[in-house]
Amino acid sequence: MGRQSILIVEDEVIIAMELRETLEHLGGYMVVGSELRGEDAVRSAGKLRPDVVLMDIHLKGR
């Protein structure tokens, strides 16, 4: 079985970068994308079809 793919949705850029680094280097996961807004995340999830979406529950914007 291949590595699990993850889409990160986080509006704090530093946190998103740390999550990506941790998931890829320590967890062996493949981060396929990162979005700042929920609307963009929905579009990316439809295109990228990740196994998991790791999403902040308090995003800026609508």
Whether the predicted pLDDT of 5 surpasses 90? yes
Structural domain contains residue 60:
no
- CA 13 to chain CA centroid, Å, is 11
Tokens at residue 1, please? 């079985």
pTM, whole model, 2 decimals? Answer: 0.89
Structural domain contains residue 12:
yes
Structural domain contains residue 61:
no
The number of domains in the chain is 1
Whether the predicted pLDDT of 1 surpasses 70? no
Q: CA 37, CA 4: separation in Å to the nearest integer?
A: 22
Domain that holds residue 14: 5-55
